[in-house]
Amino acid sequence: MGSRADTEALVRLVVTSLVDEPEKVVISRQDTDGGVLFEIEVAPDDTGKVIGRQGRIIKALRTICRASGSVDGVGVDVEVVG
């Protein structure tokens, strides 16, 4: 991917594909000392779909985003806030 905008687009694509209410997905980006933090907000009923069983989906999404950020030498983290 390469750039932060591409990483954000990747997060949006994956998350909106998983949830039942994609219009309620809000992704905010915060620049931190360690890199970039993407916070994902979804409808309450969709939170479990983004996290997955035993956290497998969110872990996979974090791995993909960290790999994408490493192209630019930027640390990337993803959190589900609701």
Reported as a single tens digit per residue, the pLDDT across 11-26 is 999 999 999 999 999 9
- Tell me the pLDDT tens digit for each residue of 51-62: 999 999 999 999
Regarding predicted confidence, which is higher, 74 or 48?
A: 48
pLDDT tier at 74, thresholds 50, 70, 90: confident
Q: Is 20 exposed, middle or buried (0-12, 13-18, 19+ CB in 10 A)?
A: exposed
pLDDT of the residue at 68: 87
- Say yes or no to pLDDT of 70 above 60: yes
What's the confidence (pLDDT) of residue 1? 42
First to last CA, the chain: 26
